[in-house]
Amino acid sequence: MATNANGYGELVLLEKKEPGYGIITLNRPDKRNAMNRAAQAELRAALDDSHDCKVLIITGNGPAFCAGVDLKENREMRGNGVERQYAHGSNSWVDTNEEVRKHPAACIAAVNGFALGGGLTLAHNCELAIASEQAQFGMPEFGFGTFPGLAGPATIRRILPKHAAYMILTTRRIDAHTAERWGLVNSVVPHDQLLPEAEALAQHICQFDPVLIDFGKKAIRDLDLMPWDDGLVYGGYIGNLVRQQSSASKEALDRFAAGQKNPGQGADVLQQQSRSGE
């Protein structure tokens, strides 16, 4: 378990597990895991200390996954004349999410409760997301007289425009099963199965080469912004980069030639649980 000597361990917890994945837990349950500057600094430190992980699970302690940025702290800082936005300066929550996005590990959001505003942004910036049946998703920013500057664009890129507009304009939360139907999460599980399900997924992805995971994650994000023809060229380019830095492809082809199965080869089919639980 991480300790304060590493720059975190109170507001954010990091636990590394075999075979090469880590669990990061946001740990301000009394504040619904709202991310003040200290918590953001601890999260960035935990991310920096987990570059040896192939997969990271990000979850929350208590009834919330993450309620976004700590608005009370922001208000107090502005009242004290401390807070200022620089035209080309940094925004700590933007920087924190960029570290999640650019981390070499594949990230899984294990959404245990409320994911609101900046918490929704954090779930978006994880490549995969599993939700507890108790999870809720929303953007309350209109109620505070502002536009959801990060969660809004991130949501618009990921779901149908009318669904995104509903969440932005009404500030109403959606439940976990609606989030699954709309494409915000990959699956929904009973609350007590959330971490076991996320860990099983992490263990599956850990079968693959770390260089491949890192460049695969980058390619998934980059390809989303490219025209079709450019994407085809870029996909080949990424494949070449992986083969230059890793022997995984050669080893996989050798196993295949020898009649051995590789990870992901064969009848490994995703089966979604029905709404009735059958």
Mean pLDDT calculated for residue range 258-270 = 82
Least confident interval from 3-7, 128-132, 269-273: 3-7
| pLDDT in the model for residue 272 | 60
| pLDDT in the model for residue 129 | 98
Is the confidence at residue 19, as pLDDT, over 50?
yes
| pLDDT in the model for residue 78 | 57
Assign 275 a pLDDT band (cuts: 50, 70, 90): very low
| pLDDT in the model for residue 71 | 84
Greater pLDDT, 5 or 201: 201
| pLDDT in the model for residue 80 | 55
| pLDDT in the model for residue 6 | 54
Secondary structure (DSSP) of the chain = ---GGGT-SSSEEEEEETTTEEEEEE--GGGTT-B-HHHHHHHHHHHHTTTT-SEEEEEESSSEEE--B-HHHHHHHHHTT-----TTS--HHHHHHHHHHH-SSEEEEEE-SEEETHHHHHHHTSSEEEEETT-EEE--GGGGTS--TTHHHHHHTTS-HHHHHHHHHH---EEHHHHHHHTS-SEEE-GGGHHHHHHHHHHHHTTS-HHHHHHHHHHHHHHTTS-HHHHHHHHHHHHHHHHHH-SHHHHHHHHHHTTPPPTT-SS----PPPTT--
| pLDDT in the model for residue 169 | 98
Assign 41 a pLDDT band (cuts: 50, 70, 90): very high
Which option is the CATH number for 4-81+91-205: 3.40.50.1860, 3.60.70.12, 3.90.226.10, 3.40.50.2300?
A: 3.90.226.10
Is the confidence at residue 82, as pLDDT, over 60?
no
Can you give the pTM of this predicted structure?
0.91
